[in-house]
Amino acid sequence: MTWKFAVAIGILTIAVIFPGVAAAQDDADTTPRTATGCLVTRPGNIYLLTDEDGKSWDLRSENINLSKHVGHTITVTGTVAKEKTNGPDTSPQNHLLVTKIDTVRNDCNQQ
């Protein structure tokens, strides 16, 4: 029983000293997410999409030109990117790394 206690204390000590180690294991959320809504832009080339459930997404893409879809209703597919912070918060933010985009309508008017 003593060795189990010692192992538990050792693991706890590592988690306290190196909190990023445990969090680093789930840094990437590779589950594909899909959202449909109107794409708008904010100063600083920030692209925002509010989906049908009212959730706002900050869209980013390494290979898709989002600017040509501003003012359109679109469906995007991508993965949730973790916010890079120095604080203890390791929860996913609403940053979607877009890998696919489909135009639903060329405007944002609901029909």
What is the number of other CB atoms lying within 10 angstroms of the CB of residue 66? 19
The predicted pLDDT at position 19 comes to: 46
- Whole domain around residue 39: which residue ranges? 30-105
| pLDDT tens-digit series, residues 30-76 | 889 999 999 999 998 899 999 888 899 999 998 999 999 999 999 99
Say whether 11 sits in a helix, a strand or coil: helix
In-domain check, residue 5: no
Q: What is the pTM of this model?
A: 0.65
The predicted pLDDT at position 49 comes to: 95
In-domain check, residue 47: yes
Q: Dihedral through CA 77, CA 79, CA 94, CA 34, nearest 10? A: 30
In-domain check, residue 49: yes
Whether 78 shows a pLDDT value over 90: the answer reads: yes
The predicted pLDDT at position 53 comes to: 87
